């Protein structure tokens, strides 16, 4: 049994500057032993990036709750044949990109390259066909593909996705597209929905014959990968990233002209529902998606202005997959869903200077002098936390000057000063950081006193509840 199914390592290419670890060259290195480096195509998501990620996650949870989707958490590791059976053996994911290996028990396992197949497996394993239909699930987490690293594309990448299983109606397709479109709108990203129908496996046979006949005379213009697709899976040509294919598509037959009547009616209804909720879309006759399990509706979400870049810049996509559950051994179950790449969403937000606060800004800074003050400080800090007043501290610093410098950098309106004398007296000093004025008050009443002061302070208000924590 082979140890892994990924392709041989491609020639090393320089990563774009944006993909390099921040300030890696500036870090001090001891002579004699170089520090370990990240694997190519992997990255750290640093603290300064977390505010955007938190906002994305919060918005996804909000949308899931609003549309009654329940969260499912799926394992990172699955049996490799789950993906080999569902994604199609001729797809790039299986042929080149899947991280697969033999585990100590001798089983061929794979790091999940996507989550829809895992959702379908869970649907079957846990008898979800007995639940009220549709079963509406959402997920979020890392996926793995041994793809060539590019801006916004990594070998470990994060996705969130929404899946609806059990109902064949076109309104399900439309609502999922609506959820995706509204999520991006509320994150401040302008997108366009690219949409098409690829019919059923049966209705595609005549189209595939026509498509093969069209591309065969142009075979000498195709890359080696596309020549292989022409022979084994011609529909994949429409998903090719080769510029030569883009030129040839102008005269290629369109799959919508070969749809069966039921698929035509289904697609028409999807578009009518989208018109009703005012979700704009663009018909894309050559959009097919890259995996074997799709049927009928397929769609992708592109950033507005990227329409000429084709699918490599898609923020995400999805479609209907009515045969997937049956393919892995379940009963026939219609289903539809989508997945969004979170790295690409975070990058799109950064490009638009969307920078939410990482946490509520502190309104009070606690300064302490001596061990006794530290002990009292721990207790007072908790009292402020319970009261909901954002407070900061620098317990690791001893000098008052150093602590006040931190308070100034944080731009807090008030500092609380507690030394050994104040501990013995049961008092604490309130310092107005703007005027420098100080007053001594009862430390047992400090929380209620600060609540009143903060409420009266002009221009100082409690952070909105919308701030992402």
Task: Give the CA diameter of the chain.
Answer: 94
In a domain, 69, yes or no: yes
Q: How many domains does the chain have?
A: 2
Buried b (16+ CB within 10 A) or exposed e, 369-394: bbeebbebbeebbeebeeeebbbbbb
Neighbours of 94 (CB within 10 A): 23
Q: Does residue 336 share a domain with residue 383? A: no
- Res 463: pLDDT: 41
Query: Which two structure tokens, joined as six digits, stand for 426?
Result: 């049961």
In a domain, 12, yes or no: no
Q: Does residue 190 share a domain with residue 271? A: yes
Q: Does residue 429 share a domain with residue 304? A: no
Q: Does residue 160 share a domain with residue 56? A: yes
Q: Does residue 197 share a domain with residue 98? A: yes
- Res 89: pLDDT: 59
In a domain, 192, yes or no: yes
In a domain, 252, yes or no: no
- The 3-class SS string of the chain reads CCCCCCCCCCCCCCCCHHHCCCCHHHCCCCCCCCCCCCCCCCCCCCHHHHHHHHHHHHHHHHHHHHCCCEECCCCCEEEHHHHHHHHCCCCHHHHHHCCEEECCCCCEEEECCCCHHHHHHHHHHCCHHHCCCCEEEEEEEEEECCCCCECCECCEEEEEEEEEECCCCHHHHHHHHHHHHHHHHHHCCCEEEEEEECCCCCCHHHHHHHHHHHHHHHHHHCCHHHHHHHHHCHHHHHHCCCHHHHHHHHHCCCHHHHCCHHHHHHHHHHHHHHHHCCCCEEECCCCCCCCCCCEEEEEEEEECCCHHHHHHHCCEEEEECCCHHHHCCCCCCCEEEEEEEHHHHHHHHHHCCCCCCCCCCCCEEEEECCHHHHHHHHHHHHHHHHHCCCEEECCCCCCHHHHHHHHHHHCCCEEEEECHHHHHHCEEEEEECCCCCEEEEEHHHHHHHHHHHHHHCCCCCCCCCCCCC
Q: Does residue 185 share a domain with residue 122? A: yes
Q: Does residue 340 share a domain with residue 385? A: no
pLDDT lower than 50: segments of the chain: 1-25, 309-311, 459-469
In a domain, 429, yes or no: yes
Q: Does residue 379 share a domain with residue 314? A: no
Q: Does residue 304 share a domain with residue 170? A: yes
Cis peptide before 406 (omega within 30 of 0): no
Query: Which two structure tokens, joined as six digits, stand for 159?
Result: 């996705």
Query: Which two structure tokens, joined as six digits, stand for 282?
Result: 């663009």
Q: Yes or no: say if 75 and 117 are a contact pair by the CB < 8 Å rule.
A: no
Q: Does residue 412 share a domain with residue 315? A: no
- For 262, list phi and psi in degrees, rounded to 5: -65, -40
Report the predicted TM-score, pTM, of the whole model to 2 decimal places.
Answer: 0.81
Burial class (CB in 10 A: 0-12, 13-18, 19+), 304: exposed
Single out the residue in 323, 351, 379 at which a domain terminates. 351
- Res 208: pLDDT: 87
What is the DSSP pairing of strand 295-303 with strand 316-320?
Answer: antiparallel
* CATH classification of the domain holding 388: 3.40.50.800
CA distances from 51 to 64, 97, 412, 469 (A): 20, 31, 20, 8
Q: Does residue 175 share a domain with residue 59? A: yes
Name, in order, each residue with C-beta under 8 angstroms of 403's C-beta and a sequence gap of 6 or more: 365, 367, 368, 394, 397, 415
In a domain, 16, yes or no: no
Say how far apart CA 271 and CA 171 lie, in whole Å: 10
Say how far apart CA 383 and CA 391 lie, in whole Å: 10
First to last CA, the chain: 48
* CATH classification of the domain holding 182: 3.30.930.10
- For 240, list phi and psi in degrees, rounded to 5: -70, 145
Q: Does residue 171 share a domain with residue 86? A: yes
Neighbours of 88 (CB within 10 A): 21
Q: What is the pLDDT of residues 279-310, one digit of tens each?
A: 999 999 888 876 778 899 999 999 987 655 44
In a domain, 41, yes or no: no
In a domain, 239, yes or no: no
Strand partners, 320: 295, 336
Q: Yes or no: say if 43 and 142 are a contact pair by the CB < 8 Å rule.
A: no
Q: Residue 112: which domain range?
A: 47-203+259-351
């Amino acid at each position: 049994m082979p140890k892994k199914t990924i392709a041989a390592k491609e020639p090393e290419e320089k990563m774009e500057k944006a993909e390099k670890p921040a300030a890696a060259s500036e870090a001090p290195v001891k002579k004699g032993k170089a520090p370990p480096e990240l694997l190519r195509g992997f990255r750290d998501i640093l603290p300064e990036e977390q505010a955007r990620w938190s906002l994305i996650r919060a918005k996804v949870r909000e949308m899931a709750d609003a549309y009654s989707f329940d969260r499912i958490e799926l394992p990172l590791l699955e049996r490799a044949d789950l993906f080999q059976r569902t994604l199609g053996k001729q797809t790039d994911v299986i042929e080149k990109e899947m991280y697969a290996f033999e585990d100590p028990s001798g089983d061929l396992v794979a790091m999940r390259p996507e989550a829809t197949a895992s959702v379908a497996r869970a649907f079957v394993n846990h008898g979800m066909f007995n639940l009220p239909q549709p079963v509406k699930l959402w997920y979020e987490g890392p996926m793995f593909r041994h793809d060539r690293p590019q801006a916004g594309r990594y070998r470990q990448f994060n996705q969130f996705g929404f899946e609806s299983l059990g109902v064949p109606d076109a309104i399900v397709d439309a609502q999922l597209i609506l959820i995706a479109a509204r999520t991006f709108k509320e994150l401040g990203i302008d997108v366009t929905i690219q949409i098409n129908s690829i019919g059923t496996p049966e209705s595609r046979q005549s189209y595939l014959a026509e498509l093969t006949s069209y591309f065969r005379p142009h075979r000498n213009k195709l890359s080696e990968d596309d020549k292989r697709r022409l022979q084994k899976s011609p529909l994949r040509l429409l998903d090719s990233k080769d510029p030569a294919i883009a030129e040839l598509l102008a005269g290629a037959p369109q799959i919508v002209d070969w749809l069966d009547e039921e698929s035509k009616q289904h697609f028409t209804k999807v578009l009518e529902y989208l018109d009703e909720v005012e979700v704009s879309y663009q018909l894309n006759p050559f959009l097919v998606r890259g995996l074997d399990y799709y049927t009928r509706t397929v769609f992708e979400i592109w950033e507005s202005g990227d329409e000429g870049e084709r699918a490599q810049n898609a923020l995400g996509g999805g479609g209907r997959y009515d045969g997937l559950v049956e393919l892995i051994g379940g009963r026939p179950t219609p289903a539809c869903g989508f997945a969004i790449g979170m790295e690409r969403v975070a990058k799109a937000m950064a490009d638009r200077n969307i920078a939410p606060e990482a946490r509520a800004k502190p309104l009070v800074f606690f300064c302490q002098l001596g061990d006794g003050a530290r002990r009292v400080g721990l207790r007072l800090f908790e009292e402020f936390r319970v009261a909901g007043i954002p407070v900061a501290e620098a317990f690791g610093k001893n000098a008052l000057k150093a602590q006040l410098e931190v308070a100034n950098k944080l731009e807090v309106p008030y500092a609380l000063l507690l030394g050994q004398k104040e501990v013995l007296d049961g008092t604490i000093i309130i310092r107005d950081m703007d005027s420098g004025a100080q007053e001594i008050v009862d430390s047992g009443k400090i929380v209620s006193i600060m609540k009143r002061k903060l409420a009266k302070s002009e221009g100082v208000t409690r952070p909105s509840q919308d701030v992402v924590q």
